[in-house]
């Protein structure tokens, strides 16, 4: 039996629940699904590469390295075999105590496009990585700067070419996607889900005309923009933010492009332990208070509506069951139904996006688990201060 009786409280709860549900549907359909729509559009209407010399300008690939001898020995060669007529690779040694310098110097003997500089010993700054990237930008001989990390490897030798395609139409900033290698295990699944979710978020926002961040694993901008905007001078007190804070400071709807071709990806090994991921996640979240006010408001709305949606579903179920002696009611059916619809929609959008991006997909249970726990983890990290100070 289904009870059709509704009280004023029922109407109020159902109205709030429906509003939160529609907010989630709008956010997922407009922003999170935007990258998948762009990929589909690009496949139907591919843009032909123009091979003229005027559209293949010189590129400076910059990466900071702190004790990265192993990763450089594994991945540096991929940066030196790119299919682009004129480019250089600049490695900035940030106080390494391993064989980083020796590895780079051995490659420099074989390839004159590779250069190395270093952060002065004893530099007293909150973030030596920002100083390292600034030194790399100053040393760059080209106006186009393409940034990555020492533990990243491009998808193919077309990485520079596909990222540079984003500078068409006088763009100044190009946002790319940095993926993580697939491995078995919960930690790897957590890292990949978090990366996919955040990637769809910031790339989708940029595609909709609201760029607010990028990732240093795969980011490009003009050298002239970097120095004209003051570089990192306004954010040197923040431990991180060399990527997202800078993009948040300079990116606009008019000057920013998104590249989603598979050849534009970079790949990195994911953190192996929960402690390592926790420290990385906390470092990234530590700069969010420095975002523009509008960005902070927009970023808070989605997890807030998500949390309230779950709370309303639980509240309606808890309130309805005792009152009806476990008889089905309209509020109870609505709460369960909207929950299932949102869960299905979310899983479908995430997995369709993952499939079109060439990434591994996630089970519905993984989506639900991470959808609930990750915002709680982020909230904890934002509220509880960090004890240790990590310059990187």
Q: What's the token pair of residue 75? A: 């991945």
What is the reported pLDDT for 53?
A: 37
Residue 333 phi/psi, 5° resolution? Answer: -65, -40
Q: CA of 177: how far to CAs of 45, 133, 258, 260, 261, in Å?
A: 21, 19, 9, 7, 9
- CATH of 56-271 given 3.90.550.10, 3.30.70.940, 2.60.120.10, 3.30.70.600: 3.90.550.10
The SS3 of residue 93 is: strand
Q: Which two tokens stand for residue 190?
A: 């957590």
pLDDT score for 265:
97
Residue for token pair 């978020």: 201
Taking only the tens place, the pLDDT of each residue in 324-338 is 555 778 888 999 999
Q: pLDDT, tens digit, for every residue of 258-297? A: 999 999 999 999 999 999 999 989 988 888 888 999 999 9
CA dist 120 and 135 (Å) reads 10
pLDDT at 44: 79
- Per the prediction, the chain carries an average pLDDT of 90
Domain boundaries, given as residue ranges, for the chain: 2-33+295-383, 56-271
Cα gap 56→85, rounded to integer Å: 7
C-alpha radius of gyration, the chain, whole number: 23
> What does the block give as tokens for 317?
């179920």
Specify the pairing of strand 219-222 against strand 144-147.
Answer: antiparallel
The residues of the chain scoring below 70 in pLDDT are 1-4, 46-54, 122-126, 322-326, 386-392
Cα 221 from Cα 191, distance rounded (Å): 26
Residue 318 CB-density burial (10 A; 0-12 exposed, 13-18 middle, 19+ buried): exposed
**In the prediction, which pLDDT does 387 show?**
61
């Amino acid at each position: 039996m289904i009870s059709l009786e509704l009280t004023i409280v029922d109407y109020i709860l159902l109205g709030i629940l429906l509003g939160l549900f529609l907010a989630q549907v709008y956010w997922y359909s407009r922003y999170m699904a935007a990258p998948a729509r762009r990929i589909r559009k690009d496949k139907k209407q591919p843009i032909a590469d123009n091979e003229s010399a005027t559209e293949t300008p010189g590129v400076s690939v910059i990466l900071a390295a702190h004790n990265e001898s192993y990763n450089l020995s594994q991945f540096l060669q991929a940066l030196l075999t790119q299919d682009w007529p004129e480019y250089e690779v600049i490695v900035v040694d940030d106080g390494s105590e391993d064989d980083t310098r020796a590895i780079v110097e051995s490659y420099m003997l074989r390839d004159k496009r590779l250069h190395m500089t270093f952060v002065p010993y004893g530099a007293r700054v909150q973030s030596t990585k920002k100083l390292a990237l600034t030194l790399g930008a100053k040393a760059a001989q080209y106006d186009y700067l393409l940034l990555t990390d020492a533990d990243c490897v491009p998808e193919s030798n077309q990485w520079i070419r596909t990222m540079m395609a984003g500078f068409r139409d006088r763009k100044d900033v190009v946002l790319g996607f940095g993926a993580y290698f697939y491995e078995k295990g919960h930690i790897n699944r957590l890292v990949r889900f978090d990366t996919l979710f955040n990637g769809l978020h910031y790339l989708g926002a940029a595609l909709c005309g609201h760029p607010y961040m990028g990732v240093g694993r795969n980011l490009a901008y003009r050298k002239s923009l970097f120095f004209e905007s003051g570089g990192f001078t306004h954010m040197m007190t923040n431990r991180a933010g060399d990527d997202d804070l800078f993009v948040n400071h300079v990116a606009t709807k008019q000057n920013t492009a998104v590249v989603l071709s598979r050849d534009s990806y970079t790949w990195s090994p994911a953190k192996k332990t929960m402690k390592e991921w926790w420290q990385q996640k906390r470092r990234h979240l530590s700069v969010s208070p420095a975002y523009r006010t509008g960005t902070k408001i927009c970023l808070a709305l989605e997890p807030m509506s998500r949390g309230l949606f779950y709370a309303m579903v639980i509240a309606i179920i808890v309130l309805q069951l005792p009152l009806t002696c476990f008889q089905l009611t309209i509020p109870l059916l609505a709460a369960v139904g909207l929950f299932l619809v949102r869960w299905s929609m979310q899983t479908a959008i995430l997995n369709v996006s993952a499939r079109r991006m060439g990434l591994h997909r996630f089970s519905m249970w993984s989506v639900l688990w991470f959808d609930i726990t990750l915002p709680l983890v982020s909230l904890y990290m934002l509220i509880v201060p960090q004890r240790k100070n990590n310059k990187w």
